[in-house]
Amino acid sequence: MTYLARFIPVLVLCLCGSATVQSSAAGTEEFNLTEIAAGIYVHNGKHVGFDSPGHDDIANIGFIVGEKCVAVIDTGGSVKTGQALLAAIQKTTSLPICFVINTHIHFDHLLGNIVFRNDQVKFVGHRNLADEVISSRGFFLEQFRDDLGENPTEDSIIAPNLLVDATLQLDLGKRLLTLKAWKTAHSHTDLSVYDSKTNTLWLSDLLFMQRIPALDGSLKNWLKITDELQKTTAECIVPGHGPVCAKAPMAFSDQNRYLDILLTQTRRKIAEGLFMEDIVDTVGSKEKLKWLLYEQHHKRNVTRAFSELEWE
Ligand SMILES: [Zn+2]
């Protein structure tokens, strides 16, 4: 079973941007889109659970427009969401898409990839992402068949063909994006995107706001990386879930507190000789009213923390 397979079962708004536009695509629902900085557009995902209608549209996804071409950042959790994003791009610019950047492995960020497949588009991801996508294809197909369009096959789930080892710069035409591959934190495949033109830092799921963080990598590393990230002077940070634009250090305060509680309380209870089943209902229980979707994800986070910390 892949780590994703284990992830799933247990598994408002500060609009800092200059303009919000609506476009209707992929059915009758409106597809919200905010220009958070010049040429950077973010679609705000909904806060719903994995088993609810709309689960394929829960992540903040979007695109950045250069003078030559467009980079898409994440494609949503279904072909339908990918199509809505593509329609929104085509309404905004006639420039071609040259890159599709996937910020990590989770379904809500990459199952729309196939909509963007053509010979001109490079799919970009963390050095671990291609292997993770390939090994997760069967799982995605089984769990998300209805979100993958008509007659999906394993080939419907597109893996990156340009990998980021440490950092990589992409040129969109007078617009350089700097991609950074992080060590295991939220997941094993976290990638951030920095746009120097507008001082915007797209962190995706390295930062959760409002919706409870989902730990699928390393708690200790995620806390360390958060320490580093919250010193950023970026004008606008794009979290994977929550508002489309936020500022450090405030943007990190809830996530920092939550991850720190998870670490210190789990560590203490392990030292007291308690087992995983003894602690899932007590560790972090005071966080319950502070997060959306706490019930869906919190216990899983505690079990991940326990597994990471029990042998340290
Ligand atoms: Zn994620």
Residue 7 CA to residue 70 CA, distance in Å, equals 32
pLDDT of residue 30: 86
The 10 Å Cβ neighbour count of residue 265 is 18
Nearest-Å Rg of the Cα atoms of the chain is: 19
- The reported pLDDT for the residue numbered 29 is 64
Q: In the predicted model, what is the mean pLDDT of residues 221-226?
A: 97
pTM score, two decimals?
A: 0.91
Residues 82-107, mean pLDDT to the nearest whole number: 98
The CA 48 to ligand 1 mean position distance, Å, reads 14
Of the listed ranges 10-24, 49-63, 88-102, 124-138, the one predicted with least confidence? 10-24
Name which of 187, 178, 232 is nearest 206 in CA terms. 187
Which pLDDT score is estimated for 50? 85
Q: Are the CB atoms for 123 and 102 separated by under 8 Å?
A: yes
Task: Give 32-53 pLDDT, tens digit per residue.
Answer: 999 999 999 999 999 988 888 9
Q: What is the Å distance from ligand 1's center to 277 Cα? A: 25
What number of CA atoms fall less than 13 Å from residue 23's CA on the CB side? 18
Long-range contacts for 24-30 (Cβ within 8 Å, ≥24 apart)? Answer: 25/83, 25/84, 25/86, 25/87, 25/88, 26/80, 26/81, 26/83, 26/84, 26/87, 27/80, 29/84
Computed over every residue of the chain, the mean pLDDT equals 92
56 C-alpha to ligand 1 centroid (Å): 13
Distance CA 33, CA 311 (A): 45
Q: Rounded to the nearest whole angstrom, what is the distance from the C-alpha of residue 90 to the centroid of ligand 1?
A: 26
Domain 3-254 has CATH 3.60.15.10: yes
- The pLDDT of 124-146, averaged and rounded, is 97
Structure token digits, residue 21: 């536009």
Largest distance between two CA atoms of the chain? 62
Q: pLDDT by residue (tens digit) across 53-89?
A: 999 999 999 999 999 999 999 999 999 999 999 999 9
Give residue 127's identity as a one-letter amino acid code: R
| Residue 229 to residues 11, 104, 164, 248, Cα–Cα distance (Å) | 26, 17, 19, 8
- Ligand 1 centre to CA of 97 (Å) is 24
CA of 186 to the centre of ligand 1 (A): 7
What gap in Å lies between CA 263 and CA 35, rounded to an integer?
A: 37
Task: List pLDDT tens digits, range 158-174.
Answer: 999 999 999 999 999 99
Distance 213 CA to ligand 1 centre (A): 9
What pLDDT does residue 51 have?
85
- 11 or 295: which carries more pLDDT confidence? 295
- Whether the per-residue pLDDT at 255 is higher than 80: the answer is yes
Name the pLDDT band for 137 (thresholds 50, 70, 90). Answer: very high
Distance between Cα 205 and ligand 1 center (Å): 5
Distance of CA 177 to the CA centre of its chain: 18
Report percent pLDDT > 90 for the chain.
88
9 has a pLDDT exceeding 60: no
Distance 112 CA to ligand 1 centre (A): 15
Contact (Cβ atoms closer than 8 angstroms) between residue 54 and residue 65: no
Is the pLDDT at 312 greater than 50? The verdict is yes
